[in-house]
Structure 1
C-alpha cells in the first residue's frame, strides 16, 4: 500500500510540474501578448500628427494606415502618397514640415524623433519607390530605436 501512495505522490508531482512548465508560458501569452489599450492610446496620439497629412506639391494621398505588431507591440501609423518627384525634394519638404511640427532630425536621412505618448516616436520618410512615397511614425513602450 505504501508503494501505491508513493506512486500517486510522484505522479501528482509530475503533473504539477507539467502544469507549471506549460501553464505559466500559456498564462503569460494570454495576459501579456498582443496589442491592447496602451498601444491603442499611443496609436491615437500618433495618428494626430499633422506631418502625416502634409505632402509635397504634386503628391496625392493613396492611403493612410495604422497597425500594431502583436509580438513586439510596436505601433505604426503612416500614409502613402503617389509622388513622381525626386527623393531629394521629398526629403527636403518633410525635413521642413517635420521640424515645424517639433520633430528633431537624426543622422539617417529622412529620420526624425519626437517624444510622444510617454515614449520616443520615430518619423521616417522613404521613397518615392515605384511612384510611392511613405511617411510613417513608429513607436513602442520598450523605447526601441527605429532609425
Structure 2
C-alpha cells in the first residue's frame, strides 16, 4: 500500500523506523497531490479494499484554534500474521494549524498544506494504531 498512489502525485518523503516509546515499527511516505482530499480518500478506499484492508475510522480536521490531539485522516486495518496492521492516510498540516489568535506564530514551523501521508504501523501488543 505504500507504493500505491494516485496518478500525478509526487513523492516528497519516504521514512521508516521504530517508535521509541512503544516499540512498534512504522513506515510511510508523503506525497504532493494534484487532487483534493475527497479524491485522495476515494483512491485509497478502493486500493485498500482490493488489498484486503477494512475501513476502521475517520478523524476530521480540527477546528481552527482548537487543541489538536490526533491527526485527521482515514484509518484501515488488516490482519498480518496474527497482528493487526494499521494503514493511515493523513495530512501533516492538520497537526499544526496556525492559530488566528497568534499572528506572530512562525509559518516556517507549519507543514505545507498541500501534502498528504500514507503510513503503516503494527504491533503484537496492540500499542500501534492510527
- Computing the radius of gyration from Cα coordinates, the structure with the larger value is 1
Richer in strand (by share): 2
Deviations 1:86-145 (A, max 9, x none): 111101100001111110111326210001243101100013741111000111121136
**Correspondence for 1:94:** 44
- Give ranges in structure 2 of 5+ residues lacking alignment: 59-72, 94-112
Moved over 4 A (4+): none
The higher-RCO structure (CA 8 Å, 6+ apart) is 2
Structure-1-length-normalised TM-score: 0.60
Q: CA RMSD in A?
A: 1.8
Structure-2-length-normalised TM-score: 0.67
**Correspondence for 1:26:** none
Q: Report the secondary structure of 1:110's partner residue.
A: strand
**Correspondence for 1:134:** 117
